[in-house]
Amino acid sequence: MPQTGTIALTLAHSPDADDMAMWWPLTGLLSPSGEQLRPPAIDTGRFAFTPKSEDVEQLNKTARSQPLDITAISAAAWPGLSDIYAITDCGASFGEGYGPKLVAKQDATLHCDGCVRSQKPDIAIPGANTTAALVLKLVLGQSRDAVKLVEMPFQDVAPAVLEGRVGAGVLIHEAQLTFADLGLKQVLDLGQWWHRKTSQPLPLGLNVIRTGLDSEHGPGTVAEISRLLSASVAHARRHQDETREYLQLHSATRPEWNDAELLDRYLGMYVSNMTASMGEAGREALARLYAEAALAGLIVEPAEPVVV
């Protein structure tokens, strides 16, 4: 329980390895039932952080209907939320020459983005507001209105493809690394496609903070919290054994987290130097994503990233 005088903050994130890895130094090591097994690993100052775990597409929606103090969202969702949240310099995931995978069954005649535009299969996506869906629409170009995009939870995409309920699907999270074991083939890596087009990393997920915290708790509060978030990411990266221990504690529904090689590979991809600090390269990549989306008519106008 927060001590008297402590400001309680909700820290919402997806239930995936990269988000789980970043924030345990702020929340402490928690059991799957929420019991605190160890206190926060870093000094949280006047704040107490309570985690809230939900699928990122649900967080994209909740972020407006029930504003959260701090939350993960898809990079594609931020322009529609920019009146409520600023982007934190830390906590973002970037595909640095890699990203969500468009996959199909092994015997499918889909082999590349050109095949997708010509054959126009139904495609499963992990949410309409995800960056994966936005980039897929950029790939489809003028064909996108003729392709049926079927929204479903990210964990249902691979089964839907395997069972033939859709012709292809976009995989995010650890499934990007394990799809071949399921009998699926890669049609297109959206991060590679983006890098060929722009020579920039692909912004996928963001961590954002509610700007109203400054008026509620004093000027500079948002910046103060952002520094704590950065300290949490840095601590988690320095103490990888504890990070793995925490993920394995929560692996009952995510058995892939017990595969140390797979876990290290995934965390290396999405808890990277750009996650610790997106810097100017991250800001430029975000600006380019929003400019391309506006040019394609997928958002109203380019959004200038506001990063703290």
Map out the domains of the chain as residue ranges: 7-94+202-295, 101-198
Contact 276, 237 (CB under 8 A): yes
Residue ranges of the chain with per-residue pLDDT less than 70: 1-4
Q: Which of 168, 204, 201 is closest to 285 using CA atoms?
A: 201
Contact 17, 266 (CB under 8 A): yes
- The answer to whether domain 7-94+202-295 and domain 101-198 are alike in fold is yes
Residue 170 is classified by DSSP as E
What are the φ and ψ backbone dihedral angles of 36, each rounded to 5 degrees? -80, 110
**237's tokens:** 């990266």
Domain 101-198, CATH number (from 3.40.50.300, 3.40.190.10, 3.40.1190.20, 3.30.70.360) = 3.40.190.10
Please report, as a single letter, which amino acid is at residue 271.
V
| pLDDT score recorded for residue 266 | 87
pTM score above 0.85: yes
| pLDDT score recorded for residue 193 | 97
| pLDDT score recorded for residue 3 | 54
| pLDDT score recorded for residue 275 | 96
| pLDDT score recorded for residue 70 | 98
Residue 13 is classified by DSSP as E
Place of tokens 């989306």: 293
Q: Which is the CATH superfamily of the domain at 7-94+202-295?
A: Periplasmic binding protein-like II (3.40.190.10)
| pLDDT score recorded for residue 15 | 87
Contact 79, 269 (CB under 8 A): no
**115's tokens:** 């095949």
Coil/strand/helix, residue 171:
strand
